[in-house]
Amino acid sequence: MLSFLSSLLQSHVEVQVNRGIRGLGTLAVVGAMLLTAYIAAVLALALFLAERMSPWATAAFIALGFALMAGLILLFVSLKNDADKRAEEAAARARQDTQAQILSALTGGEGGGKQALVIAAIAGLILSSLLGKGDEEDGDA
Tens-level pLDDT at each residue, the chain (141 residues): 556 656 656 666 666 666 667 778 888 888 899 999 999 999 899 889 889 888 888 888 888 988 998 899 899 999 999 999 999 998 888 888 877 777 776 666 655 567 777 777 888 888 888 887 655 555 554
Burial 21-41 (b: 16+ CB within 10 A, else e): eeeeeeeeeeeeeeeeeeeee
This prediction has a pTM of: 0.47
Are 131 and 84 in a shared domain?
no
Are 34 and 74 in a shared domain?
no
Are 85 and 41 in a shared domain?
no
Are 104 and 124 in a shared domain?
no
The tally of domains found in the chain comes to: 3
Which residues fall within 8 angstroms of residue 111, CB to CB, at 6 or more apart? 104
Are 47 and 58 in a shared domain?
no
- Domain hosting residue 97, numbered range: 54-109
Q: Cα 117 to chain center, whole Å? A: 37
